[in-house]
Amino acid sequence: MNSPVICVINPNTSSAMSEGIAAGARRVSRGEIIMRTSRHGPASLEGHFDEALAVPGMLEQLIEMERGEQHVDGYLIACFGDPGLAAAREVSPVPVMGVAEAGMQMATMVARRFSVVTTLARTLPIAERLLHEYGRAGHCAGLHACELPVAAFESGEQAVFERLLEACREALAEDGSDAILLGCAGMSELTERLTDALGLPVIDGVGAGVALLEAVSATGLRASASGDRAAPLSKPVRGAFEHLSRST
C-alpha cells in the first residue's frame, strides 16, 4: 500500500502560520503532507466576514491541486471555522475534512466531555454552531477564549504559550472536563507542550484531521458524489475567479 498523501490548506494568507500548521501535520502523519496557503483573502480568520473572504482562495488551492499531476488522498481545511467545507466537498473527488470537525470527533474518542479553548471571544458563536452541526454539543462542557488574536500564535513567544495554558487550566477548572480541544489551527505546534503541562489529552484539529484522513485512505473508501456532494453545475464564472469555472 502506498503512503497516504494529505494536502493541508491554510485558508488565510499567512505563510508563517502555514509553517507551524505543516509542522503539526507532519508530527502525526504516516505519509506525505503537502501544505498550501491561500493567495487571496485575510491574513487571519476571526469572524464571519473573514471566513467569507477566505473561501474562494481556499477553493482555488484545492482546484489547482486537482488539476495538477500530484496524487492526493484527502484535503484538510486548516481553520477552526471549517470555512467552505461543504463547497470543497463538491469539487473534491477525495475526502475533505475541517479541523473543527476532525478535532471534535477525535475529542469524543478520548474523553467523556471536552472544553474548547480558542482565540477571541467573537469566534465562540462559530464554534457553538459547528458543535450543533456536527452533533457534538452534548460532549462539549464549555467554550472559552484566551483573548489572543490568531496572529499571536505566529510569534512563538513564551508569553503566548503561558496565556493559552492559563486559559486551558481555567476551562478545565470551570467545566470539570476531561480534555482540551484547541480552537485554532495556529495552536497546533503547542499541542505537546500543553499536554505535558496539563496532564490531560489536548486535541489539535490539524493532527486529528491528518490522522482521520489517513485512516479513511487506508480503507480505500472514496468520497460520495451524490446529493449535495455532487460536482457543481457547469456554468461561467466572471471576475477574479473566472479561471475556476467548470464550464466547457
Distance CA 234, CA 165 (A): 48
CATH architecture of 5-98+208-244: 3-Layer(aba) Sandwich (3.40)
Q: Which three cell numbers stand for residue 21?
A: 500548521
Q: For each of the chain's 248 residues, which pLDDT tens digit applies? A: 689 999 999 999 999 999 999 999 999 999 999 999 999 999 999 999 999 999 999 999 999 999 998 899 999 999 999 999 999 999 999 999 999 999 999 999 999 999 999 999 999 999 999 999 999 999 999 999 999 999 999 888 899 999 999 999 999 999 999 999 999 999 999 999 999 999 999 999 999 999 999 999 999 988 999 999 999 998 888 888 888 887 54
For the chain, give every residue range classified as CATH 3.40.50.12500. 5-98+208-244, 100-205
CA dihedral 25, 28, 30, 31 (to 10 degrees): 0
Pick the CATH number of 100-205 from 3.40.50.12500, 3.40.1260.10, 1.20.1070.10, 3.40.50.10610: 3.40.50.12500
Q: How is the chain split among helix, strand and coil, in percent rounded to 5?
A: 50, 15, 35
Q: In terms of Cα–Cα distance, which of 53, 56, 31 is closest to 44?
A: 53
Report the alpha-carbon angle 221-69-22, nearest 5.
70
